[in-house]
Structure 1
Amino acid sequence: MRGFRGDLAQLLKARFPVLYIESYEEQRVLAEVTAVARDASLLRTPRPVWTWSATQGLVQPDGVPHRGTTEPEAALDVVLRGREPGVFLFKDLHAALGGGDRPANPVVVRRVRDVAAAFRSGQVPRVLVIVSPVLRIPVELEKDITVVDFPLPGEAEIRALLDSMIASNAAGGRIRIGLSDVDRERFAKAAAGLTLHEAENAFARAMVSDGVLDVHDLAVVHDEKRQAVSRSGVLEYAEGGAELADVGGLENLKRWLAKRDGSWLAAAAQYGLPAPRGVLITGVPGCGKSLTAKAVAAAWGLPLLRLDVGRVFAGIVGSSEQNMRTALRTAEATAPCVLWVDEIEKGFAAGVGDGGTTPRVFGTFLTWMQEKTKPVFVIATANDIERLPAELLRKGRFDEIFFVDLPTRTERASIWRVHLGKRLRHKAVAGELSVDERVVAELCDFSAGYSGAEIEQAVVSGLFDAFAERRPLRQDDLIRATVNMVPLTVTQAERVAAIRAWAETRAVAATAAEDWDLGAPPPGMGSATSTGGAG
C-alpha cells in the first residue's frame, strides 16, 4: 500500500520508536493512525491508541483519562512504565520542545530520549507519535525522531465531504442543489489545498449564502482558498488582472507558453509528457517580466501564488527553513497552479552573517525544483541574473531561460496600442486622437530605446497634462512626455549592456526573430533569437 497509511504501517512494523507528524489536522491524523493501528491486514499485532493533550492529559484507549498526567513529563513517565503494545499519540508536546527564542524543556527532551531507547529495545511493539502544526526537533532528538509526511486531503476525500454535506442539507429541504456530477468534481478540485475543516467551512458558506448551491458558488470556495494560502504567511494568492494580449511583443515566449497550456491534464499524459517545471525570465527592467507571470496564470485559468522570499527569512530565528517547506507544501497542495517568484536574485543572494540560513533555504528550494512531481509551474523573474547561483540555472531546474530585451519597433507599436487603447475608452480622454498607424509610427520614432514600463509612464504623464487642462488627450502630450523622460538605457547604460552581454549565449530571446527590425539583429543575443530553441 502506498501513501500515508502504507508508510506508517511500514514504520510501525519496523519498530521505529518516535514519529513526528507535522499537521494542523489533529483529528484527521488521529483517525488515520487509529485505522492503521487497528488494521490486522497491515499489522501482525493490532495496537491500542492512547492520546495525550495538555488539557486532558493521557487518555486510555477506552476514553478514560489517566489522572495526574496533564504535564508532559508525567505522561511520558506513564508511557515508559507500560509493558503492553500501543501507539501513544501526543498532540501538544511541541510546546516543550522549544523553537525560536524559547529553549526546550530539558526534562521533556530527556524523557523522549528515554522513550526512544526503551521502545527501540523493548520486546513489545510500541511507538510515540508527536502531532504538531510546526516542526520543532531539538538537536538532541534529531537521531531519535523520524518525520512522516502527512498530505492534505486529496480530491476523493474532499468529494466525499461535499457529497455528505449535500446529502445532509438537501434531505431537509434547507438548500437547493444545482450541481451536476461534473460541477461537483469542479468543487472538489477548487478546494484542493485546503484542510478538511477549511473545505467544510467553504462548502458551508457556499450553501448558506443564498440557499442554493450551484456552479456560481465556486467563487466562495476560491475566496476561502485565497485566505488559506494567505494564512501560510509566506505565499500570497495574487490576482492575475492581466491577459497575454496585454503583454506587447514577446511572441517567442508567448508561443512557448501556449504550447504548454493544459500540459498538466490527463490528455498530456497520453503523450508521455511530464508537467512543465517552469521558466526563468531575465532581462532589462521594465520590459514585461512580471506582467507575463500574471498573464500566464490568467491565460491558463490557474491560481497565481506569489512567493515572497523576504517573508521566508522574516520572523523567529531558525524558522526560515520551516517557512520555505510550508510555502512549497502549500503550493503543491494547490496544484495545478502557477508559482511566481519575483526578483529571485534578491531573495537567494548569499546572506552575510546569517549563519548559513540562506544556503539551507536555497538548497531546499533547489531540491524541490529538481524533484517535484506536482503540476506547479514556476515563473521566476530576475533583473540581475549574475547574482544567481549557477546551480539554479542548470537544466532540470527550469525548462527554459528567456531573455527579455528592450522592445523592438514592432513591439513598441504593440505596447503603444495596448496602453492607448485602454485609456481612449474613457470619454474624458477620447477626442480626435486615434490609435492609427501614423500616430503609432511617430510615437515609435520618439520612444526608441524605451522599455515597456517607460512607454506606459509616458502615456500616464500625457494624461496628467490633459487632466490638468480638463481636455482630451493629444498626440503632442505623449510626444512631450516621451522626450522629457530619461530612459533606463541612458541612466544605467552600463548595466543594460552587461545584462545583454550575459544573455548573448545563455538565454533564448523572448522576442520572435521576425519581429526584429530589418538590419538590426537582437542586441547581444547572437543566435539565441532563433525560434527553434523556444519551441
Structure 2
Amino acid sequence: MSDYEEARRDLDSYIAARVPLIGIRSAEQTRAVRLVREVAGSTRRANLPFWIYTRATGLRDLRTNSPVQEDRSLVAAMEFAAGQLTRRAHATVIFVEPDDLSADSPVTRHIAELARLADDQSGGVVLITDTPLWSGLQRLGMSVALDPPNAAEMYDIVVDFLKDQEGSVTIDWTEADARRVADFLVGVPAGTAVNVLATIAASGRLRREDVGRLAEIKDKHFSDLAGLERITLGASDHQIGGLATLRQWLHRRHQVMLADLRSTELRPPRGVLLVGVPGCGKSLSAKAVAAQWRLPLYRLDFAAILGMYVGQSEARLREALSMADRTAPCVLWIDEIEKGLAGQQDSTGVGRRMVGQFLFWLQESRSRVFVVATCNDIRSLPPELLRKGRFDELFFVDLPDDADRAEIIRLYHKRYVGVEPPQELLDRLTALSEGFAGSDIEAALKEAGFQVLLHGAASLTTEFIVDTFVDTIPLSRTHPEEIAEIRAWGRDRAIPAGAIGTAGSPSAGGRRRVIVPGDA
C-alpha cells in the first residue's frame, strides 16, 4: 500500500467516525486537496455538504467549486462555518493553510471553537497545513500525515506520465529505467516530479542516459538544506591516490545502489567509515565517490547543527537526516565524525542523544543515502558506532608506500606543473618523500606550481622541486608517537584501504597501489 492510499484510508475512517477536527499535514496542498476530494466524492457521502476555504479563492463548494460568498476573508469563512456547523448535521469545512496553526493564537482558538460546534452536530473541520498543529487543536481530533510519494507511488506517477507522452515523445526507457527514475525522484513532491519529467521530455525524446541526469536535476530542488552543506565537485575530484581495495569494494556497492531491491530483503548500502592517518585521502574519497557515481554530495556540518537550547541540537540533526533521505540518492559526507559524535562524557546528555539518533537512522533508514564518514581519533567514538551493521564496512587508510608515492607525485606534478616528471626526478622525489602523506606531497608540488605561475615554466628547476620536498616536514615526523598509535590500531581492527602486500617504506603498513577512480 502506498502512503497516499494509507492516508486516504485513514481520512475516510475519520470522516466516517465524525471526528470533529482532522489535521492533514502535507507540504503539497494540491495533493492534499485531491485526497479530500476523493474521500468526499464517495457515493455514500453524496448528500453531505463539504466546503473548502483557501486564501486565493475564498470559501467554495468542494464538489462544484462554485463560490459561497463574495467576501474571501478568513473571518467571513469562519463565520459561515460557525453558522453551518450550528444548524446542519454532518457538515464539513476544509481550511487550507488559513494561518499559522502551530501556536496558541486567536485563529487557532477560533478553529477550536468551530471543532466543538461540529462535534455537537456530528460535523467536522479539516485543516490542511505543512506545520504541526497547536496542542490545543491536536487534543480535539486526529491527524493524517501525507508524505511525498514513496517509490511505489512515484513509479505509478512515472508510468502515467509516460502513457500521456506516447505518440508525441520518443521513449527509450525500459521498465527497469522507469523503476530507477522512480527511485531517483523519491522525496520530491508529486507536482515537482512531473515538472522534472516534463523538462526532460521537452527535447522530444526520453533517452536512457537521461536517467542519470535526474539526480542532478533533483539536487537543484534541494539547494538550501538545514544542516547540510552542498559540496560542488571540481573536475579533478574524481582523482585520488591509493585505496585500491576500497575502490573495488565501492564498485560493488555502486552496483547495489543501482539495483532494484524491491523483491529482496536487502536494503541500499548504508556507507563506509574511513579511519587512519590524517592527510592520506579519507576526505578526498567522499568527493571521489560522488564524482564517480554522478551523485550530489552533501556535507553534514555538526557545527551548524549544535544549538544552545535544550533539544535544539537533536531536532536539527533529525531534520538534517530527514532532508538527506529526501535528497536521495546522494552521498552524505561526515568529515571527522568524532568531533560531532564524541561527547559520551557530556553531562547534558546531548552527545549521547545525538549518537542514539544517528545510530537509529543508520539502522532503519531505507533511502539511498551513502554515508562516507572519516575519523582521525577512533578512540573517541562510541563503541556502538563501530558495531557491524552500522556502517557497511570499516577501512583503515595508511601512509603511502613507495609505489603509491611515485604515482601520487606523478599525479600532482602533472596537475600543478602541467607535465609528467622525468623518471630520474620521480625516483629521487619518491625516496625523499618517505613517511609523507598524500597531502604533504601535494603541498610540496603546489610550491612548484606557484613558481611556474609567477616566473614561468623555465624558472622551475630540479633543485627547486627537490628543495621543496626537503623543506617539507610531514606529520609522521612532527608527531611520530601519535601516528604510530593510529597505525597500530588500524592494522588490527580495520580492513586496509590499499592493496595488501609488502610495505614499501619502514613507516608504511600494507602495500597499496595508486588508482584514479573512474578509469575502470
User: Which amino acid counterpart does residue 32 of structure 1 have in structure 2?
Assistant: L
Provide the rounded CA distance (Å) in 1 between the counterparts of 2:25 and 2:482: 46
Q: Is the 8 A contact 1:193 1:225 kept in 2?
A: no
CA gap 1:514/1:267 in 2 versus in 1, 3 angstroms: farther
The equivalent of 1:509 in structure 2 is 496
Among candidates 369, 379, 393, match of residue 362 of structure 2: 369
What SS is found at the alignment partner of 1:254? helix
Q: Which runs of 5+ in 2 are unaligned?
A: 511-520
Shift of 1:344: 2.8
Are 2:251 and 1:228 aligned? no
Could you tell me the TM-score, scaled by structure 2's length? 0.77
The equivalent of 1:451 in structure 2 is 437
Among candidates 70, 74, 83, match of residue 70 of structure 1: 74
RMSD (CA atoms): 4.4
Q: Is the 8 A contact 2:24 2:126 kept in 1?
A: no
The equivalent of 2:154 in structure 1 is 154
Provide the rounded CA distance (Å) in 1 between the counterparts of 2:213 and 2:264: 35
The equivalent of 1:532 in structure 2 is none
Q: Counterparts of 1:2-401 in structure 2 under 5 Å? A: 2-10=2-10, 12-13=12-13, 15=17, 18-39=21-42, 49-54=50-55, 56-61=57-62, 62-63=64-65, 64-65=67-68, 70-71=74-75, 77=82, 81=86, 84-85=89-90, 88-93=93-98, 95-98=100-103, 104-105=104-105, 107-110=106-109, 124=122, 126=124, 128-132=126-130, 135-138=131-134, 146=143, 148-152=145-149, 154-161=154-161, 164=164, 166=165, 177-182=169-174, 185=178, 191-203=185-197, 205-206=199-200, 212-213=204-205, 215=207, 224-241=217-234, 246-266=239-259, 273-313=266-306, 323-350=316-343, 363-401=356-394
What SS is found at the alignment partner of 1:90? strand
CA gap 1:310/1:125 in 2 versus in 1, 3 angstroms: farther
Q: Is the 8 A contact 1:234 1:307 kept in 2?
A: yes
Shift of 1:460: 0.9
Shift of 1:31: 0.8
Provide the rounded CA distance (Å) in 1 between the counterparts of 2:334 and 2:343: 17
User: Which amino acid counterpart does residue 38 of structure 1 have in structure 2?
Assistant: G
Farther-moved stretch of structure 1 (390-399 vs 497-506) = 497-506
Describe the superposition over 1:476-530 as per-residue Cα deviations: whole angstroms up to 9, x where unpaired.
Answer: 333211221222234444543454455455433323321534876739xxxxxxx
CA gap 1:265/1:68 in 2 versus in 1, 3 angstroms: closer
Shift of 1:219: 8.7
Shift of 1:189: 5.9
Could you tell me the TM-score, scaled by structure 1's length? 0.75
What SS is found at the alignment partner of 2:278? coil
Describe the superposition over 1:251-270 as per-residue Cα deviations: whole angstroms up to 9, x where unpaired.
Answer: 22222222222113446677
Provide the rounded CA distance (Å) in 2 between the counterparts of 1:68 and 1:353: 54
Higher relative contact order (CA 8 A, sep 6+): 2
Shift of 1:373: 1.7
Q: Is the 8 A contact 1:198 1:224 kept in 2?
A: no
User: Which amino acid counterpart does residue 220 of structure 2 have in structure 1?
Assistant: Q
CA gap 1:478/1:80 in 2 versus in 1, 3 angstroms: farther
What percentage of aligned pairs have identical amino acids?
A: 33
What SS is found at the alignment partner of 2:37? helix
Shift of 1:448: 1.9
What SS is found at the alignment partner of 1:128? strand
Describe the superposition over 1:201-233 as per-residue Cα deviations: whole angstroms up to 9, x where unpaired.
Answer: 44555566xx65554777986554232111334
CA gap 1:219/1:74 in 2 versus in 1, 3 angstroms: farther
Q: Which runs of 5+ in 1 are unaligned?
A: 99-103, 172-176, 524-535
Q: Counterparts of 1:390-469 in structure 2 under 5 Å? A: 390-423=383-416, 426=418, 429=419, 433-434=421-422, 436=423, 438-469=424-455
Provide the rounded CA distance (Å) in 2 between the counterparts of 1:515 and 1:117: 79
What SS is found at the alignment partner of 2:34? helix
Q: How many residue pairs are counted as aligned between the two chains?
A: 496
Q: Is the 8 A contact 1:229 1:237 kept in 2?
A: no
Q: Is the 8 A contact 1:250 1:512 kept in 2?
A: yes
Farther-moved stretch of structure 1 (184-193 vs 330-339) = 184-193
Q: Is the 8 A contact 2:85 2:121 kept in 1?
A: no
The equivalent of 2:473 in structure 1 is 486
Describe the superposition over 1:387-407 as per-residue Cα deviations: whole angstroms up to 9, x where unpaired.
Answer: 434443333321122222222
